[in-house]
C-alpha cells in the first residue's frame, strides 16, 4: 500500500449508523481483530481485549440497554437549548430512542484491563485512566480502518458509565476490565455523505502556536452549532 492508497482509506472510512442484517464473514472479523492487535500502546502494555457478539439474543439485550440509556439522553437533550441539541433530538419528545446498530450482525466490544497501566514507567505521574483509554482509542481506530478496508461499515459507540453498568452483567466482564467502546460492524444500509473536516491550515502551527488561529469563544460556539447542523444527514432517523 502506498501513501495515496492509505490516504484514500483514511478519507473514505465513514461512521455507519444503520446496517444490513446480512452476516459478515468470520474471516473479515478475524482480519479486523488482527489489525487491532497491532495497534501502538504505551510501554507496549496492550490493554485491549475484544468481545465479539453475534448471538441475536445477546445483541437484542444490548440494544435494549442502549435504548434505556437513550431515555436518559433524551431527557437531558430535551432540557437543552434547542439549537444545541443533536438534530435527531430536536423533535423531542416525539422521537423515541432507537439504536441504529440493532441490525448489525456483529457487535465488537473493546475492553481494557486497567491493571496494564502499571506497565508504564509514567504510571506514577500519569492519570492511569488516560494511558489505558489512549491505548484503547488506538486499537479502536485500527478496527475502524480495517473494517473500511474490508468494505464494511462500523460505528464507534461510546460506552458511558450508564451503558457500561447495564452491559457488564450481560457479557460477564471481570472487575478489572473496563469497557471502552462498542463497534457494531456490518454491511452499510445507506450511502454515507462525505464527512466534514476542518482545513489543515486552521489546525497546524509551525514552530510555535500561531495565536491568530486561536478561536474566540463565539467562534467555538458557532463551530459547535455548525457541527450540529452537519450531523443531520449522518444520523438518519430511519
Ligand X SMILES: Cc1cc2nc3c(=O)[nH]c(=O)nc-3n(C[C@H](O)[C@H](O)[C@H](O)COP(=O)(O)O)c2cc1C
* Choice between 18 and 42, CB closer to ligand X: 18
Shortest Å distance, C-beta 237 to ligand X: 13
Instruction: Tell me the number of residues near ligand X by CB under 6 A.
Output: 8
Q: Which stretch binds ligand X (CB under 6 A): 10-18, 32-40, 90-98, 118-126?
A: 10-18
* Choice between 210 and 237, CB closer to ligand X: 237
* Choice between 14 and 102, CB closer to ligand X: 14
Beta strand extents in the chain (DSSP E only): 48-53, 106-113, 153-154, 157-158, 177-186
* Choice between 58 and 86, CB closer to ligand X: 86
* Choice between 30 and 222, CB closer to ligand X: 222
Find, among 194, 192, 110, the residue nearest to 158 by Cα. Answer: 110
Which of 9, 15, 95, 126 binds ligand X (CB under 6 A)? It is 15
* Choice between 214 and 227, CB closer to ligand X: 227
Shortest Å distance, C-beta 138 to ligand X: 11
Residues 148-207 that bind ligand X (CB under 6 A): 155-158, 195
Shortest Å distance, C-beta 2 to ligand X: 22
Site string for ligand X, 68-87 (x = CB under 6 A): --------------------
Shortest Å distance, C-beta 158 to ligand X: 4
Binding site for ligand X (CB under 6 A): 14-15, 17, 155-158, 195
Amino acid at each position: 500500500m502506498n501513501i495515496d492508497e492509505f490516504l484514500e482509506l483514511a478519507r473514505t472510512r465513514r461512521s455507519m449508523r444503520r446496517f444490513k442484517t446480512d452476516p459478515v464473514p468470520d474471516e473479515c472479523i478475524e482480519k479486523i481483530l488482527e489489525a487491532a492487535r497491532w495497534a501502538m500502546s504505551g510501554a507496549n502494555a496492550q490493554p485491549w481485549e475484544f468481545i465479539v457478539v453475534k448471538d441475536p439474543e445477546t445483541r437484542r439485550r444490548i440494544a435494549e440497554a442502549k435504548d434505556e440509556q437513550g431515555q436518559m439522553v433524551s431527557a437531558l437533550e430535551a432540557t437543552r437549548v434547542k439549537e444545541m441539541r443533536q438534530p435527531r433530538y430536536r423533535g423531542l419528545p416525539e422521537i423515541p430512542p432507537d439504536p441504529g446498530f440493532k441490525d448489525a450482525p456483529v457487535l465488537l466490544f473493546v475492553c481494557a484491563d486497567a491493571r496494564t497501566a502499571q506497565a508504564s514507567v509514567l504510571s506514577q505521574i500519569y492519570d492511569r485512566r488516560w494511558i489505558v483509554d489512549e491505548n484503547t482509542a488506538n486499537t479502536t481506530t485500527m478496527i475502524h480502518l480495517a473494517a473500511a478496508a474490508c468494505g464494511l461499515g462500523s460505528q464507534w459507540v461510546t460506552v458511558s458509565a450508564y451503558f457500561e453498568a447495564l452491559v457488564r452483567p450481560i457479557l460477564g466482564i471481570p472487575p478489572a476490565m473496563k469497557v471502552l467502546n462498542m463497534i457494531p460492524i456490518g454491511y452499510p444500509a445507506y450511502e454515507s455523505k462525505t464527512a466534514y473536516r476542518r482545513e489543515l491550515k486552521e489546525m497546524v502551527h509551525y514552530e510555535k502556536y500561531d495565536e491568530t488561529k486561536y478561536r474566540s469563544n463565539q467562534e467555538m460556539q458557532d463551530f459547535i452549532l455548525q457541527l450540529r447542523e452537519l450531523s443531520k444527514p449522518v444520523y438518519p432517523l430511519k
